[in-house]
């Protein structure tokens, strides 16, 4: 007796509206454990994308690949060769899961993407050689090779299409760059058509979205135009869709369309929100339109399954007014997109290098027989109950339900402070986007002569920073962190005596913004500092009383945190990372390590 899978109607509606649902994640256990197939059957999944950062998290952050690494190392392969074998195997397995989608779509969907090495992003010849190598080794018709949309790689894109390779053009930020690669795709298809070859070659143009808001919002904040926050990314993407319609749905492409050539679909990438004040589905429900793809990280896909509202072809709305408003506010979108392209390549080169280094350590361990660095011993009498507990967790799908933010794991549906306290699950992705901003803030503070940081907070607002302080200790050349989480007069006086108030930055940390003890500390030291607000920063939830108070008192900065994170789980949010950055911790490395853990 078969049981029909329950299809998520929100994601089915997105598909029906013309936006194909893809997943921006790959991992061996996701495939072999059946979760990828479930997503296809229940959540309308129609494609998968991967990149070096995704493989870094998958390979270094799990035990999924330990056996294969050992086997390949024993065969004498080096770290790069081991990575390629792993990546090719994952993509082949994912292609097989997506093959029914590809068959049902007549070859128009169901693709899995594998990216060329980031280091060759500015070398067309090497890019094309690697594209051919991966295409031949994966040997699946529903493979797409990801090629960066840099100026240097435009010829490689044309040649790959002309050679019959499906191409996912990645790292597109500007409409001008999109136009150049779309023209390369068209040239490649014309060459095939004129040579009498099949034009059944597919391509998507991956237009990055959320990173545009991350960059533009910073510029708007510095110019006092925060009324335009969150408008740039959507407007930029909509402008790209306008260009897509001009190039592929009009007369210019008509002869190729008549010959059966598919359009090069715009793919919205980087669609997980980075700003905690934005809805989790912001870059999905605003970019719905025919002939599009939205590749989502798992948290965004799960959020869409619960919250998405499809209201029509929202990507087909005219962005002119928003773009004009941004230009009038002094935002140079050309400079924004140029900056993002450079940073985007770096963000893939760095994890790729880290990935190869990590694989090399594992390879050396196998070759030299080096034992694992961490071992654990469980007392015999505790093993049976632990085993039973693990079996129960597996039977009840605890891990999957946590990532789906299933509040019934802890209580009744709708119970206050359960459903709205699970933001910690996805906070690392969001905070990585702010790592550079935190580093710049620290440099600004140090340049102004500050030598010490005093965190004023209670409970969850102080536990994480204190843990970081004790774990890292005093970092040479960095500011010293002090934590005050007591109302004992002796503790307050001891902190005051230990500080040069003229060179101390006070971090006032309170989720609610109304913690009596923290505000008392703040008022005491604010008075002792002569009412100089530039020596204070606040970390709090959006809209809390502390936001208004900090601005009224002229605080140097207000960091508004994701409100869906409880205090005891907030160490990897602004509550933990602002003091960590100020005391010299490499926040970006800390977050990346957390993702691999």
Residue 64 lies in a domain: yes
Is residue 458 within 8 Å of residue 508, measured between CB atoms? no
> Residues 270, 170: contact at Cβ < 8 Å?
no
Q: What is the pLDDT of residues 333-364, one digit of tens each?
A: 999 999 998 888 877 788 888 889 888 887 87
Domain count, the chain: 2
Q: Is residue 546 part of a domain?
A: yes
The pLDDT value recorded for residue 411 is: 79
Q: What CATH code is carried by the domain that includes residue 496?
A: 3.40.50.10490
Q: How crowded is the C-beta side of 515, counted as CA atoms within 13 Å?
A: 25
What one-character DSSP code corresponds to residue 502? Answer: G
List the catalytic residue out of 57, 89, 146, 245.
146
Structure-block tokens of residue 301: 């896909």
End-to-end CA distance of the chain: 41
Known catalytic residue at 400: no
Go through the chain and tell me how many residues it has.
597
Please, is 412 exposed, middle or buried when counting C-beta atoms within 10 Å of its C-beta (0-12, 13-18, 19+)?
exposed
Q: Using alpha carbons, list the distances in angstroms from residue 470 to 68, 136, 475, 507, 584.
A: 38, 52, 11, 18, 13
State the Cα–Cα distance between residues 390 and 379, nearest whole angstrom: 16
Phi-psi region of 113 (alpha: psi -120 to 50; beta: other; left: phi over 0): beta
Indicate if 343 and 457 belong to the same structural domain.
no
Number of Cβ within 10 Å of residue 531's Cβ equals 10
Last residue of a domain, one of 302, 326, 353: 353
Same domain? For 321 and 441 the reply is: no
User: pLDDT tens, 154-176?
Assistant: 999 999 999 999 999 999 999 99
Token readout for 198 is 């099949």
Burial 241-254, CB ≥16 within 10 A → b, else e = bbbbeebbeeeebe
Per-residue tokens: 452: 């010490």
Instruction: For residues 301 and 431, state if they share a domain.
Output: no
**Which SS3 state, helix, strand or coil, does residue 482 take?**
strand
| Cβ–Cβ < 8 Å for 546, 513 | yes
51 plus 188 within the same structural domain: yes
Residue that terminates a domain, selected from 305, 325, 353: 353
Are the C-beta atoms of residues 506 and 550 closer than 8 Å to each other? no
Q: Which residues contact 542 (CB under 8 A, 6 or more apart)?
A: 276, 277, 560, 561, 563
pLDDT tens by residue, the chain, 597 residues:
334 568 999 999 999 999 999 999 999 999 999 999 999 999 999 999 998 888 888 888 888 898 999 999 989 999 999 999 999 999 999 999 999 999 999 999 999 999 999 888 899 999 999 999 999 999 999 999 999 999 999 999 999 999 999 999 999 999 999 999 999 999 999 999 999 999 999 999 999 999 999 999 999 988 999 999 999 999 999 999 999 999 999 999 999 999 999 999 999 999 999 887 899 999 999 999 999 999 999 999 999 999 999 999 999 999 999 999 999 999 999 999 999 988 888 777 888 888 898 888 878 777 666 555 555 566 878 878 888 888 888 888 888 788 777 788 887 877 777 767 788 888 888 888 888 899 999 999 999 999 999 999 999 899 999 999 999 999 999 999 999 999 899 999 999 999 999 999 999 999 999 999 999 999 999 999 999 999 999 999 999 999 999 999 999 999 999 888 888 889 999 999 999 999 999 998 888 778 765
**Complete edge-to-edge strand list for the sheet that includes strand 557-560:** 480-484, 452-456, 504-509, 536-540, 557-560
- On whether residue 232 sits in a domain, the answer given is yes
Contact assessment for residue 273 and residue 174, using Cβ atoms and an 8 Å cutoff: no
> Could you tell me what percent of the chain has a pLDDT over 70?
96
pLDDT at 373: 54
Residues 317, 456 share a domain: no
Q: Range of 467's domain?
A: 426-596
**What counts of helices (H) and strands (E) characterise the chain?**
26, 13
Question: Do 210 and 338 lie in a common domain?
Answer: yes
In a domain, 373, yes or no: no
Q: How high does pLDDT run on average in the chain? A: 92
Q: Are residues 476 and 332 in the same domain?
A: no
Contact 181, 149 (CB under 8 A): yes
Evaluate whether residue 391 is within a structural domain.
Answer: no
CATH number for the domain including 292? Answer: 3.20.20.70
**Domain edge (last residue) among 353, 387, 414:** 353
């Amino acid at each position: 007796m078969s049981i029909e899978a329950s299809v998520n109607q929100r994601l089915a509606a997105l598909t029906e509206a013309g936006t194909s649902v893809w997943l921006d994640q790959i991992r061996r256990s996701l495939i072999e454990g059946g979760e990828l197939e479930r997503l296809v059957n229940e959540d309308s999944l129609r494609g998968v994308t991967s990149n070096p950062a995704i493989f870094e998290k998958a390979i270094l952050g799990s035990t999924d690949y330990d056996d294969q690494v050992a086997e390949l190392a024993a065969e004498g392969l080096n770290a790069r060769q081991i990575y390629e074998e792993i990546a090719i195997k994952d993509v082949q397995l994912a292609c097989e899961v997506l093959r029914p989608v590809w068959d049902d779509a007549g070859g128009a969907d169901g693709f899995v993407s594998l990216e060329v090495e980031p280091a060759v992003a500015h070398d067309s010849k090497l890019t094309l050689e690697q594209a051919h190598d991966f295409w031949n080794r994966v040997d699946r018709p529903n493979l797409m090779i990801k090629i960066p949309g840099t100026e240097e790689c435009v010829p490689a894109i044309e040649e790959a299409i002309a050679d019959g390779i499906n191409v996912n053009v990645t790292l597109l930020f500007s409409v001008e760059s999109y136009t150049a690669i779309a023209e390369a795709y068209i040239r490649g298809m014309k060459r095939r058509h004129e040579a009498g070859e099949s034009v059944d070659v597919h391509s998507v143009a991956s237009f990055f979205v959320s990173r545009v808001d991350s960059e533009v919002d910073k510029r708007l904040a510095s110019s006092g135009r925060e009324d335009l926050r969150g408008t740039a990314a959507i407007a930029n993407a909509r402008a790209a869709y306008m260009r897509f319609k001009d190039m592929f749905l009009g007369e210019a492409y008509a002869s190729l369309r008549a010959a059966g050539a598919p359009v090069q679909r715009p793919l919205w990438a980087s669609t997980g929100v980075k700003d905690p004040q934005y809805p989790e589905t912001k870059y999905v429900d605003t970019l719905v339109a025919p002939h599009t793809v939205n590749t989502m990280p798992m948290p965004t896909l799960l959020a869409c399954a619960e919250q998405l509202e499809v209201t029509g072809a929202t990507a087909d709305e005219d962005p002119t007014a928003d773009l004009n408003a941004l230009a009038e506010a002094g935002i140079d979108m050309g400079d924004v997109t140029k900056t993002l392209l450079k940073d985007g390549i770096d963000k893939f080169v760095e994890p790729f290098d880290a990935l190869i280094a990590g694989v090399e350590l594992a390879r050396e361990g196998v070759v030299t027989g080096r034992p694992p660095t961490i071992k654990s011993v469980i007392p015999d009498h505790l093993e049976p109950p632990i085993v039973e507990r693990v079996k129960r967790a597996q039977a009840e799908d605890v891990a999957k339900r946590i990532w789906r933010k299933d509040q019934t794991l802890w209580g009744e549906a709708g119970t206050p402070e359960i459903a709205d306290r699970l933001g910690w699950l996805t906070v690392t992705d969001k905070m990585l986007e702010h790592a550079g901003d935190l580093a710049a803030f620290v440099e600004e503070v140090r340049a102004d002569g500050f030598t010490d940081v005093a965190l004023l907070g209670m409970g969850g607002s102080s536990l994480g920073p204190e843990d970081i302080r004790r774990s890292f200790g005093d970092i040479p050349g960095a500011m010293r962190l002090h934590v005050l989480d007591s109302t004992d007069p002796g503790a307050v006086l001891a902190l005051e005596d230990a500080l040069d108030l003229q060179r101390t930055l006070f971090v006032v940390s309170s989720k609610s913004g109304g913690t009596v003890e923290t505000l008392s500390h703040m008022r005491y030291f604010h008075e002792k500092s002569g009412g100089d607000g530039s020596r204070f920063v606040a970390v709090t939830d959006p809209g809390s009383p502390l936001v208004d108070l900090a601005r009224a008192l002229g605080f140097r900065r207000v960091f508004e945190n994701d409100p869906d994170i409880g205090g005891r789980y907030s160490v990897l949010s602004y509550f933990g990372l602002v003091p960590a950055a100020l005391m010299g911790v490499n926040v970006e490395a800390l977050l990346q390590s957390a993702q691999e853990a």
